[in-house]
Protein backbone atom coordinates (compact mmCIF):
# COMPACT_ATOMS: atom_id res chain seq x y z
CA UNK A 1 0.00 0.00 0.00
CA UNK A 2 1.35 3.36 -1.03
CA UNK A 3 1.08 6.03 1.60
CA UNK A 4 -0.22 9.34 0.29
CA UNK A 5 1.36 12.51 1.56
CA UNK A 6 -0.82 15.35 2.57
CA UNK A 7 0.29 18.75 1.52
CA UNK A 8 -0.28 21.11 4.40
CA UNK A 9 -0.56 24.81 3.82
CA UNK A 10 2.55 26.53 5.07
CA UNK A 11 2.29 29.46 7.41
CA UNK A 12 3.86 31.63 4.72
CA UNK A 13 1.02 30.69 2.36
CA UNK A 14 -1.55 31.75 4.93
CA UNK A 15 0.31 34.99 5.63
CA UNK A 16 0.49 35.69 1.91
CA UNK A 17 -3.25 35.13 1.64
CA UNK A 18 -3.89 37.50 4.56
CA UNK A 19 -1.66 40.16 3.01
CA UNK A 20 -3.91 40.32 -0.03
CA UNK A 21 -7.18 40.34 1.90
CA UNK A 22 -7.66 44.10 2.15
CA UNK A 23 -10.85 43.94 4.22
CA UNK A 24 -9.26 41.58 6.75
CA UNK A 25 -6.44 44.05 7.16
CA UNK A 26 -8.76 47.07 7.37
CA UNK A 27 -11.04 45.54 10.00
CA UNK A 28 -8.28 44.10 12.18
CA UNK A 29 -6.06 47.18 12.09
CA UNK A 30 -9.01 49.60 12.13
CA UNK A 31 -10.53 48.09 15.27
CA UNK A 32 -7.10 47.97 16.91
CA UNK A 33 -6.68 51.70 16.31
CA UNK A 34 -10.19 52.44 17.59
CA UNK A 35 -9.35 50.50 20.74
CA UNK A 36 -6.09 52.40 21.11
CA UNK A 37 -8.01 55.68 21.29
CA UNK A 38 -10.75 54.22 23.50
CA UNK A 39 -7.94 53.27 25.92
CA UNK A 40 -6.70 56.85 25.85
CA UNK A 41 -10.19 58.17 26.62
CA UNK A 42 -10.54 55.81 29.57
CA UNK A 43 -7.05 56.43 30.96
CA UNK A 44 -7.40 60.21 30.65
CA UNK A 45 -10.81 60.21 32.30
CA UNK A 46 -9.33 58.31 35.27
CA UNK A 47 -6.27 60.55 35.49
CA UNK A 48 -6.89 61.56 39.12
CA UNK A 49 -7.70 58.03 40.22
CA UNK A 50 -5.59 54.95 40.84
CA UNK A 51 -3.73 53.54 37.88
CA UNK A 52 -6.04 51.43 35.84
CA UNK A 53 -5.01 48.76 33.36
CA UNK A 54 -7.30 49.09 30.33
CA UNK A 55 -6.07 45.78 28.96
CA UNK A 56 -8.22 44.08 31.60
CA UNK A 57 -11.38 45.43 29.98
CA UNK A 58 -13.02 43.83 26.99
CA UNK A 59 -13.54 45.95 23.89
CA UNK A 60 -17.30 46.19 24.46
CA UNK A 61 -16.80 47.33 28.05
CA UNK A 62 -14.50 50.09 26.82
CA UNK A 63 -17.13 51.26 24.37
CA UNK A 64 -19.82 51.17 27.07
CA UNK A 65 -17.60 53.20 29.40
CA UNK A 66 -17.04 55.83 26.69
CA UNK A 67 -20.80 56.00 26.10
CA UNK A 68 -21.41 56.43 29.86
CA UNK A 69 -18.82 59.22 29.95
CA UNK A 70 -20.53 60.80 26.91
CA UNK A 71 -17.44 60.58 24.72
CA UNK A 72 -19.56 58.61 22.27
CA UNK A 73 -23.26 58.73 21.49
CA UNK A 74 -24.96 55.42 22.23
CA UNK A 75 -25.63 54.90 18.50
CA UNK A 76 -21.96 55.50 17.69
CA UNK A 77 -20.87 53.07 20.37
CA UNK A 78 -23.24 50.43 19.06
CA UNK A 79 -21.90 50.99 15.56
CA UNK A 80 -18.31 50.57 16.80
CA UNK A 81 -19.39 47.30 18.44
CA UNK A 82 -20.81 46.22 15.08
CA UNK A 83 -17.46 46.93 13.43
CA UNK A 84 -15.80 44.76 16.07
CA UNK A 85 -18.25 41.93 15.32
CA UNK A 86 -17.25 42.12 11.65
CA UNK A 87 -13.60 42.25 12.68
CA UNK A 88 -14.09 39.02 14.60
CA UNK A 89 -15.67 37.37 11.57
CA UNK A 90 -12.73 38.41 9.40
CA UNK A 91 -10.23 37.28 12.03
CA UNK A 92 -11.83 33.90 12.73
CA UNK A 93 -13.42 32.85 9.43
CA UNK A 94 -10.93 32.30 6.64
CA UNK A 95 -12.16 33.91 3.41
CA UNK A 96 -14.97 35.84 5.10
CA UNK A 97 -15.99 38.77 2.97
CA UNK A 98 -18.55 41.51 2.65
CA UNK A 99 -20.23 42.33 -0.62
CA UNK A 100 -20.45 45.86 -1.98
CA UNK A 101 -23.95 46.46 -0.64
CA UNK A 102 -22.91 45.48 2.88
CA UNK A 103 -19.92 47.85 2.72
CA UNK A 104 -22.05 50.68 1.39
CA UNK A 105 -24.70 50.04 4.07
CA UNK A 106 -22.02 50.30 6.76
CA UNK A 107 -20.97 53.68 5.40
CA UNK A 108 -24.59 54.89 5.33
CA UNK A 109 -25.17 53.62 8.87
CA UNK A 110 -22.02 55.36 10.11
CA UNK A 111 -23.30 58.63 8.68
CA UNK A 112 -26.71 58.14 10.31
CA UNK A 113 -25.21 57.60 13.78
CA UNK A 114 -23.14 60.76 13.59
CA UNK A 115 -19.78 59.86 12.10
CA UNK A 116 -19.12 62.69 9.68
CA UNK A 117 -18.76 61.79 6.05
CA UNK A 118 -18.60 64.17 3.16
CA UNK A 119 -19.57 62.91 -0.24
CA UNK A 120 -19.92 59.18 0.50
CA UNK A 121 -23.20 59.37 2.39
CA UNK A 122 -24.78 61.87 0.06
CA UNK A 123 -23.94 60.01 -3.13
CA UNK A 124 -26.45 57.51 -4.43
CA UNK A 125 -25.17 53.95 -4.49
CA UNK A 126 -25.01 53.74 -8.29
CA UNK A 127 -22.70 56.76 -8.37
CA UNK A 128 -20.70 55.57 -5.40
CA UNK A 129 -20.01 52.31 -7.26
CA UNK A 130 -18.45 54.34 -10.04
CA UNK A 131 -15.93 56.02 -7.75
CA UNK A 132 -15.50 53.68 -4.79
CA UNK A 133 -14.84 49.96 -4.67
CA UNK A 134 -15.71 48.06 -1.50
CA UNK A 135 -12.16 48.26 -0.15
CA UNK A 136 -12.15 52.04 -0.58
CA UNK A 137 -15.51 52.31 1.18
CA UNK A 138 -14.18 50.35 4.17
CA UNK A 139 -10.96 52.38 4.28
CA UNK A 140 -12.96 55.63 4.25
CA UNK A 141 -15.25 54.24 6.93
CA UNK A 142 -12.38 53.42 9.28
CA UNK A 143 -10.60 56.71 8.52
CA UNK A 144 -13.64 58.63 9.70
CA UNK A 145 -14.48 56.50 12.75
CA UNK A 146 -10.86 56.37 13.96
CA UNK A 147 -10.47 60.13 13.53
CA UNK A 148 -13.68 60.86 15.43
CA UNK A 149 -12.61 58.70 18.39
CA UNK A 150 -9.06 60.09 18.24
CA UNK A 151 -10.32 63.69 18.25
CA UNK A 152 -12.41 62.95 21.35
CA UNK A 153 -9.24 61.71 23.06
CA UNK A 154 -7.26 64.75 21.88
CA UNK A 155 -9.98 67.04 23.27
CA UNK A 156 -9.26 65.75 26.77
CA UNK A 157 -5.47 65.63 26.46
CA UNK A 158 -4.79 62.54 24.38
CA UNK A 159 -2.28 62.29 21.58
CA UNK A 160 -2.68 61.27 17.97
CA UNK A 161 0.61 59.47 17.88
CA UNK A 162 1.11 55.78 17.34
CA UNK A 163 4.88 55.58 17.77
The rounded average pLDDT for each run of 10 residues, N- to C-terminus, in the chain (163 residues) is 61 62 86 95 78 86 96 97 96 87 91 77 70 88 94 88 68
pLDDT score at 19: 62
The kind and range of the H/E element at 160 are none
Of the candidates 36, 26, 28, the one whose C-alpha atom is nearest the C-alpha of residue 160 is 36
pLDDT score at 75: 97
Query: The whole model's pTM is what?
Result: 0.83
The runs of H, that is alpha helices, within 46-99 are: 59-68, 74-92
Amino acid sequence: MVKKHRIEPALNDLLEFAKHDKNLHSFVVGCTLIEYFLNQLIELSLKNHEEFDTSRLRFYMKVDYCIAQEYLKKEQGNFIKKLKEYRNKFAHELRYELNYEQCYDLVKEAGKVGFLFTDLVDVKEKYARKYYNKETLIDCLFDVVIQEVAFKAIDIGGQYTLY
